[in-house]
Structure 1
Amino acid sequence: MEQIPTRDVLDSLIEDGLHEINRERSGLLLSGFSAGLDIGFGPLLMAVVLTLSEGSFGDLTTELVVASMYAVGFMFVILGRSELFTEHTTLAVVPVLDRKASLGELTRLWGLVYLGNIGGGLVFTLLAVVLMPGLGVVSPEAFETIALKLVTHDLHWLFVAGVFAGWLMGLLAWLITAAQGTLARVVLIWIVTATIGLLHLPHSIAGNVEVLFGVFISPEITVLQYLAFLALSTAGNACGGAVFVGLLKYGHVVRGAN
């Protein structure tokens, strides 16, 4: 199958980014809230797998299955066309680089989508920690294990690893635009997001749910640790998506065209 020219991919990203930037405020907020809810199914399925596998990371089979479950939430969000902050760290930056949107418009989009994502994740987490242990499908210890995997690192690791997670998510936005067909997009989503899960990189939106699990379940995880995780992973994600994908991809395509 013939590949889409890179200039066409860039033009499509610009068009999509402008469409999202120009959406109504309430629509962006609700779409972001929906994405925050839907992405929670990934961390929840991770907890189910850990419960069934005696609640520990480290075994190769467990790690691979957990990473695949992590990808499920992203499939729900991306194929469902809900707004995810880490996609917009690349998608919405490109129109600004092309001087078709302003920094103020970018900030508005990021802020609304991010608030919706975090709010949706909070609601999902509350429902999960209240209802799921009672159904007997997941143990509280599994929720704690998932959260500790993200908050027991040095603070600088959260930012640097967050850059890699944002880089991968920005690359995913580019690849999905270049892909032809739903099956190709499903495979790409699984490869990229399962990689983030396998490496335990801090994704600010999925990680919001993962760490909140621990805040509500475990006395070992504090609100301060949660806030530090959220701030540093968000900054890292934004940097990775905007710089390593948005800026570099835009630069090489435009320079190549000239």
Structure 2
Amino acid sequence: MSFHQPQRIAEIAVESGMRKAHLPLVNMLVLGFLGGAFIAFGYLLDIRVVAGLPPEWGTLASLLGAAVFPLGLILLIIAGGELLTGNMMAVSIAWFSRKVTTRLLIKNWFWITISNFLGSIFVAYLFGHVAGFTETEPYLSSTIAFAQGKISPGFWGSLISGIGCNWLVGLAVWLSYGADDIGGKILAIWFPVMGFVAIGFQHVVANMFVIPAAIFAGYFDWTDFILNFIAVFIGNAIGGAIFVGMVYWIPYIWNTKSKVVGEGQVFQFKQLKTKQ
């Protein structure tokens, strides 16, 4: 199972960010809708697995739910889709490399946010509310508990949790760039995503599913959702753009004039040419 070295992953990430930023609007909307729906499917699967498990299982129940949640990002990366949290890393590293303008970055984030929301809320309403997959017991209790767990920490708690989440999700996307085969990409995605879910970090697109699902069931309100969205969006942006995008841009793109020793040879990486 071959994989790329971090230097090459950084270059692939920049190339991916450039492609994402230059997608036509229709493509952004369609692929963003799919991205939101796929993440919602992962969360719905999580709820259906953990609901009704005996309390004696303790955190094992959380681990089981976390183990199936990565379905969403696996579908997105392999089948195709656009996800805000992944773009917060990929488009940002292209922006740091001056391959993408600020206007294109904002445009991408804006439209992917809208389309991810539409995909997430579509699954929440159609499958959760109309079909009742989140509104019959024991699934309703789990849905409410999940939503309450997202809203309860307040602004700063949600923001900091969002940083941790997209640090790991950004790394999941980053690692997926390091694999050329489907099996390698699945393994690369699965561990970081499982980790953030098991820890309990907050993902802005996942919250677009679970909080509205609880609202459709008659719990909480849209003010709760909006306040949570703002906090988690900011946290996810910091986690993806700064803790992954910028942190890896510095050694692998910006400062690539330094010599690197590996396998008995000395390599000289050339500084990438940048254009605004």
Q: Is TM-score (shorter-chain normalized) higher than 0.5? A: yes
**Alpha-carbon distance, 1:179 to partner:** 2.3
**1:29 paired residue number:** 29
**Alpha-carbon distance, 1:76 to partner:** 1.7
Offset from partner CA, 1:93-140 (integer Å, 9 cap, x none): 122111121000111111111110011111110012220349968632
Cα distance in 2 for partners of 1:57, 1:153 equals 25
**Alpha-carbon distance, 1:66 to partner:** 1.0
My pick for the range that moved more, 116-125 or 12-21, is 12-21
Give the alignment's Cα RMSD to 1 decimal: 2.1
**2:10 paired residue number:** 10
Cα distance in 1 for partners of 2:137, 2:157 equals 32
In the alignment, does 2:257 pair up with 1:238?
no
Is this contact kept in 2: 1:144–1:218, CA < 8 A?
no
| Seq. identity, % | 20
Cα distance in 1 for partners of 2:100, 2:134 equals 49
- TM-score in terms of structure 1 length: 0.92
Cα distance in 1 for partners of 2:124, 2:215 equals 10
| Gapped regions of structure 1 (runs ≥ 5) | none
| Gapped regions of structure 2 (runs ≥ 5) | 259-276
Larger Rg: 2
**1:131 paired residue number:** 131
In the alignment, does 2:94 pair up with 1:89?
no
Cα distance in 2 for partners of 1:134, 1:240 equals 30
**Alpha-carbon distance, 1:2 to partner:** 6.1
In the alignment, does 2:93 pair up with 1:113?
no
**2:45 paired residue number:** 45
- TM-score in terms of structure 2 length: 0.86
Is this contact kept in 2: 1:132–1:138, CA < 8 A?
no
Cα distance in 2 for partners of 1:224, 1:15 equals 38
**1:202 paired residue number:** 202
Cα distance in 1 for partners of 2:251, 2:218 equals 47
Number of residue pairs aligned between Structure 1 and Structure 2: 256
My pick for the range that moved more, 70-79 or 156-165, is 70-79
Cα distance in 1 for partners of 2:134, 2:46 equals 17
Cα distance in 2 for partners of 1:234, 1:58 equals 32
Counterpart amino acid of 1:145? A
Moved segments of 4+, more than 4 Å = 133-138
Counterpart amino acid of 2:217? I
**1:179 paired residue number:** 179
